[in-house]
Amino acid sequence: MEKGQFPPPYASQVVQNNISYQAPQVAFQNQPAPMATVYPAPAPQMQFTTAAQPAFVPATAPMAQPAIQMVPAPAPAPDAVIIPARMTTVAGRMKCQYCQKEVVTEMKYVNGMMVWAICASLGFLGIWPCCLIPFCVDGCKDVEHSCPHCKTIIHVHKRM
């Protein structure tokens, strides 16, 4: 079967489930091919000259340009502000604000408000033997981060 210029003819009546209706007519149109855009070449540049030079100097001729002086970018300030990492329940690397050394903090668990709140709530509920459990669980305690060199407390992560 050879393909022609036109699509094959279709029936104008379509019957489905004993209902007949008129099929919509679709007109096929040939689409124009995309056209390439051609831009004209730039004209050579003209330069005004004195009587000693020729009247027309093409753009490709070397021209004297002013000297450009390269200036190096300024170095970052040595007293740059370092934002410390958010200290939570894990040891963190930071610069100690007291001894100015880059350290990994030491952690120590201390009893805080959450331990006492859980103990009091278990006591009010009448569970007397279990009210001392929060004092043994590190997940309920506050975390003190300290510098291993100067032993000062850098940050306290409070649970409550």
In a domain, 45, yes or no: no
Q: At a CB cut-off of 8 Å and minimum separation 6, what does 112 contact? A: 141, 142, 158, 159, 160
In a domain, 124, yes or no: yes
The parent domain of residue 113 ranges over 93-157
Q: Which residue has the higher pLDDT, 46 or 74?
A: 74
In a domain, 108, yes or no: yes
Mean pLDDT of 125-136: 91
pLDDT at 135 over 60: yes
For residues 61 and 84, what is the distance between their CA atoms, to the nearest angstrom? 58
Give 75-113 pLDDT, tens digit per residue.
666 665 555 567 888 998 888 999 999 999 999 999 999
Backbone CA torsion sign across 17, 19, 20, 23: negative
In a domain, 48, yes or no: no
In a domain, 106, yes or no: yes
User: How many domains does the chain fold into?
Assistant: 1
In a domain, 117, yes or no: yes
